[in-house]
Structure 1
Amino acid sequence: MTSPEDIFRDFTDSKEASDHYEEHNRKRDEVAEEELQPLIDDFRSSEVDVVEFRNRNNGLNKQHPLWGFDGFVGGMHFNKLLKAVPGESELGEKLRNVIQPPENEADAHETIDAFAEYTQRLKENDLDSDPFPKSTIFFLSYFWHVQQSTDWPLYYPTTEQYLKEEGLFEMEESYGASYVDFIATMDDLREEASTWLETPVEYREVSNAIYWHEELDESEIEDEETSGGGEETETFVNGDKPYLPPVVADLDAVAAGRDEAVNQYAPADTDLPVIFERKCGILFKMLGFDTEVLGQGSGRNPDGIAEAVRNDYAVIYDAKKREEGYRIGRDDRTIREYIETHTRRLRDQGKRHIYFAIVSSSFRDTEESTLRDLRTNTDIDNIVLLKADVLQELLRMRLEEPYLNLDDVEWVFGNRPGEIQSEELENIVPEWRQSDSEFFVS
């Protein structure tokens, strides 16, 4: 085995490793501050529920694989917890308390042990989901580290395994005690490395050096950078609209009535709301749906019905062009009428699930009670709000990734009510495409 001192010296002597992780850490700080911390704050204040929190957190980690949370003991463990818990609200209340960084190591010890015991009870009551109690150490330390990276080290298995092989760390009688001991070991390494390198060392630098030595080398980093793998993969619609056919590439601009759309379609003898409706119908067809376009001129009807014929579900959709964003308001009566008019026919045709989707530039002042009332008092399985650029991104993913099908796409319409965030789309990626063996610091 290579000693910690040699690992740190080799790591700092490698320009490839130093450059790679300097950019990696910069990106970690940016994503944590601008995206993850606001999401955690919204969850802790109950602005988002536990399902949306899981979806958006997991989606962000698939989009930005910076902490290893997109693997078995991170995102997949979160999925297992949600499947095993008797009620989603119960898990939400538990998590709101435990993802807040601890006051001290004794608090961390107690929090990890308590949540691991809770996970064990879920495991015993739901053998199919099988959440793994030891994953609690990584799972909670991830949230603490994202919020306070200099105070709480992330418990990576690669780091744990190396420390065990060097005789520097052993699991204690409880997971909480093991994490506290892990902190002590990491503190010793930080102090020693600071002496060797004559510069302060953070927890993540210890993990970076160990992972670089155990899993990466310079040639792999060079190959990654040469192939473009070192850059963040584009997952959201950008200015060039990759993979988007021109006919729907401006859907977001039309939805918001932006100047470029107004100028482009000024010569046409058609209003922008009608153009928006037509483009939505085209996009649903491109997704693979058998789409019936209704809209203006068809009476009191929604703008269209998109049927997944072989998948036994349908989406009733309505397109709302708005410059300032759409608010349901009194339209819930109209929506109720649309649902009542079409669900019976769709059920008679054998559709097991029927969803309602509103597509607009953005949404404002949405009352969750209105959405709940529509789900409860009509024969609809779910109602979702989709921004035009999110719908564009869904199409981009569908066209770019041939393994995605309408079964996968159904997740967007059936998973939860309310506005679907762009980062949540990463959750339509099937689990078989995800690593289920281990997780890594990339």
Structure 2
Amino acid sequence: MISAGTQTQITTIWDQYISDNKTVLDTKGVPYDDIDNNRLKAIVTLKAIVQEFIAGTIDIAEFKTAVDSFNKQHNFWGFTSIKGQMFFNLLLKTSEGEVEMQKLTTLLKGCVAEPKDLQDALNKIEALDKYVSAIFNKAPNKRKAPNPGSIGYFLSYFWQIHDPQQWPIMYSSMIVSFTDIGLWESPKTQKEAYREFYTLNEEIKSILSKHTGHVVSNWDAEHAFWNFRTVTAYPKKEKPVNIPIVQTEITMEQSVSALTQASFDIYDYVPRITANLIALGKEIEDSNSGKGSKYEKAVCEVFKQLGFVIESLGQGKGREPDLIAIHKEDNVAFIVDAKAYANGYMMGASDERAMREYINYYCPKLKKEGIQRIGFIIVSNGFKSSFDSFVNDITWRTDIKRFILLSSDALLHLLAYRIKDQKDLSEIVETMISLGKTITAQDVIQQFDDI
């Protein structure tokens, strides 16, 4: 039974949602246009994909690809993140061999089918948990194994495709909100967690239905708590002294979407030597020769902390990029140029000529060293233009395979997730390559944070 005080908190969260005109934000903070109707339309296609898999019309690999492809175009449930598609990818990757793949196929067909009731749902979670835990516990590198902690979200996503009214999705963001208002105490297993989550969700819908005078759905409750999500459930550590921190406190009056802010304080993990990167990126010194040198050194330090082998160039070494970041294990190198501009970086003609010179000189040199995948990264606090014409020309006419505009904030977030979750540098590299030409902090959060 939820206490009277907590019930008041729940109705306050709902009233805030209503006062915000039921605004639901996507993972980049942009309001969804009629998300519920869009979900209903999407469910028609998703349900057909699930039924094809259950019926054996498509195999498990085709099922994974179809779900991935659809959600990349219609990401109304956040499935593209860690507990959804990444979990699915690792599940297949670690189930090697024809016999094991058939075992997984049979298990998954039963698990993604709609449960008969809550007990049946819990049995499905328990069955998949047993399978995944066996893989996870034996894995020498657990970061490359499917995490059992993803199972509740993963399966409840598919159940909601069958019946949105019956099955709530166990979002991590809702768990954080439940924790914030004192409703959650971390059950030991995924089975216990979903039972607790389902029960709480039903109680919350009942409280809100009584409060509003009409039936409140799973999606109504989800939207209200999704936008309420805060980071207050994560204890704050003392910040380094005299270091500017670009961060805002989240309150009820400043609702954010589920993935517009990391679920932890990145400055608890970013080393002190790099923590003032954003402030340095705004610095404009009197001396032209000195302008931006501290920022360049800080950018270089972040790439070192990420695990790259660094060839530091830049200030004092003539017409050079600021550094070359090499990851020999994956045959990858990035030519990196750091730009400290208080009002956002816009490329001039001299910069364009310089970057072409860097590329023409360093690409052949790196290829002689056996590096086959070469990218170019500009790091700055912000960018004033899209650079489309220049980037298209570079990637078409040179050996540069990827051109990235990386914000200082995004770079710090990459480092924080690398340290916090002990991610492989290979995963960081593939993330930078896959996220698109311009990478923001929100892009990194969407990729690595819980849903």
What TM-score range do you get, normalising by the shorter chain?
0.5 to 0.7
Deviation (angstroms), 1:195: 11
Deviations 1:313-370 (CA, angstroms, capped at 9, x unpaired): 1111001111110123533333222112111221222223211110112111213233
2-structure distance, mates of 1:345, 1:203: 63
1:245-324 superposed matches below 5 A: 245-257=271-283, 271-324=290-343
Higher relative contact order (CA 8 A, sep 6+): 1
Deviation (angstroms), 1:141: 9.9
Deviation (angstroms), 1:419: 1.2
Give the direction of change, closer, same or farther, for the CA distance of 1:36–1:289 in structure 2 (3 Å limit). same
**1:348 alignment partner in structure 2:** 368
* 1:404 and 2:423 aligned: yes
Counterpart contact for 1:113–1:176, Cα < 8 Å: no
Counterpart contact for 1:315–1:354, Cα < 8 Å: yes
2:64 aligns with one of 131, 134, 147: 131
1:34-433 superposed matches below 5 A: 35-36=25-26, 102=37, 112-114=43-45, 116-117=47-48, 128-131=61-64, 142=76, 161=115, 197=210, 199-201=212-214, 203-204=216-217, 235=262, 241-257=267-283, 271-330=290-349, 331-401=351-421, 403-426=422-445, 429=448
Counterpart contact for 1:255–1:323, Cα < 8 Å: yes
Match for 1:395: what amino acid?
L
Aligned residues: 313
Counterpart contact for 2:410–2:440, Cα < 8 Å: yes
Match for 1:243: what amino acid?
Y
Task: Give TM-score scaled by structure 2 length.
Answer: 0.53
Q: Secondary structure at the match of 1:36?
A: coil
Q: Secondary structure at the match of 1:241?
A: helix
Match for 2:419: what amino acid?
L
Give the direction of change, closer, same or farther, for the CA distance of 1:114–1:34 in structure 2 (3 Å limit). closer
2-structure distance, mates of 1:337, 1:295: 14
Give the direction of change, closer, same or farther, for the CA distance of 1:19–1:39 in structure 2 (3 Å limit). closer
2-structure distance, mates of 1:162, 1:25: 34
**Could you list the runs of 5+ residues in structure 2 that have no partner in the other structure?**
79-110, 121-158, 168-201, 223-230, 237-250, 252-257
Q: Secondary structure at the match of 1:328?
A: coil
Deviation (angstroms), 1:418: 1.7
Q: Secondary structure at the match of 1:272?
A: coil
Counterpart contact for 1:411–1:428, Cα < 8 Å: no
Counterpart contact for 1:194–1:201, Cα < 8 Å: no
Counterpart contact for 1:193–1:201, Cα < 8 Å: no
Match for 1:113: what amino acid?
V
1-structure distance, mates of 2:22, 2:311: 43
Counterpart contact for 1:285–1:291, Cα < 8 Å: yes
Counterpart contact for 1:287–1:398, Cα < 8 Å: yes
2-structure distance, mates of 1:286, 1:120: 46
Give the direction of change, closer, same or farther, for the CA distance of 1:395–1:109 in structure 2 (3 Å limit). closer
Aligned residues with identical type, % of pairs: 20
Counterpart contact for 2:27–2:442, Cα < 8 Å: no
2-structure distance, mates of 1:198, 1:360: 48
**1:212 alignment partner in structure 2:** none
Match for 1:200: what amino acid?
G
Match for 2:210: what amino acid?
L
Give the direction of change, closer, same or farther, for the CA distance of 1:17–1:272 in structure 2 (3 Å limit). farther
Task: Give TM-score scaled by structure 1 length.
Answer: 0.54
Counterpart contact for 2:11–2:211, Cα < 8 Å: no
**1:219 alignment partner in structure 2:** none
Deviation (angstroms), 1:411: 2.4
For the aligned residue pairs, the C-alpha RMSD in angstroms reads 5.4
**2:104 alignment partner in structure 1:** none
2-structure distance, mates of 1:370, 1:133: 34
Deviation (angstroms), 1:206: 8.6
Counterpart contact for 2:24–2:31, Cα < 8 Å: no
**1:59 alignment partner in structure 2:** none
2-structure distance, mates of 1:17, 1:228: 24
Q: Secondary structure at the match of 2:63?
A: coil
**Could you list the runs of 5+ residues in structure 1 that have no partner in the other structure?**
1-9, 45-98, 145-156, 167-174, 184-188, 210-223
2-structure distance, mates of 1:413, 1:133: 24
